[in-house]
Amino acid sequence: MLEKVYQLEQNESYAVIDWLSHELLQSNAEELELAVRLLFKKEYANIIFNASKLSAIDGFGVSAIRKATKICTNELGLFVVVGKHDEVIDRLDQAKIEDLTIMNTVKEGVDAIYLNDLENDFEDESDANTDEYGIDGSDLGEDY
């Protein structure tokens, strides 16, 4: 029987992938991709990848995180990596993954997701106040 490498926790506005393995390598990186795809099908755009147990990552693991980040960002969500091991964080920093968010705790990740959602809501409201020429009608006086 295969050892389970992750556990899922799903909330209303985000999901947590709790990575149980100490490695994210070629042998198990596809498991992360499958978990992200499963959550994406359930319409989760905000995902926290709790990698606090992770102590080793290779190019396949980095690639899986890059794909997950892109999937979430394309949906205006956030993919947050929670990590403790400097080697793993350094490897992710060196990969220069666009829009990657790295936090120290799951709670910080949850806060980052709520902040991102607030920013998106604010931008939506701002867009609703502009006309087809990009003029913001909310600033115009009654005489206009």
23-24/79-82 β-pairing = unpaired
Q: How confident is the model at residue 75 (pLDDT cuts 50, 70, 90)?
A: very high
Q: Does domain 6-130 have CATH number 3.30.750.24?
A: yes
- pLDDT above 90 covers a percentage of the chain that reads 79
Q: How confident is the model at residue 144 (pLDDT cuts 50, 70, 90)?
A: very low
Which sequence spans correspond to the domains of the chain?
6-130
pLDDT at 1 over 50: no
pLDDT at 93 over 90: yes
Which stretch of 35-44, 100-109, 128-137 has the lowest confidence by average pLDDT?
A: 128-137
pTM equals: 0.85
Beta carbons of 101 and 82 less than 8 angstroms apart: no
Q: Give the DSSP per-residue string, the chain.
A: -PPP-EEEEE-SS-EEEEE-SSEESTTTHHHHHHHHHHHHHTT---EEEE-TT--EE-HHHHHHHHHHHHHHHHTT--EEEE---HHHHHHHHHHT-TT-EEESSHHHHHHHHHHHHHHHHHHHHHHHTB-TTS-BGGGS-TT-
Rg (C-alpha) for the chain, rounded Å, is 18
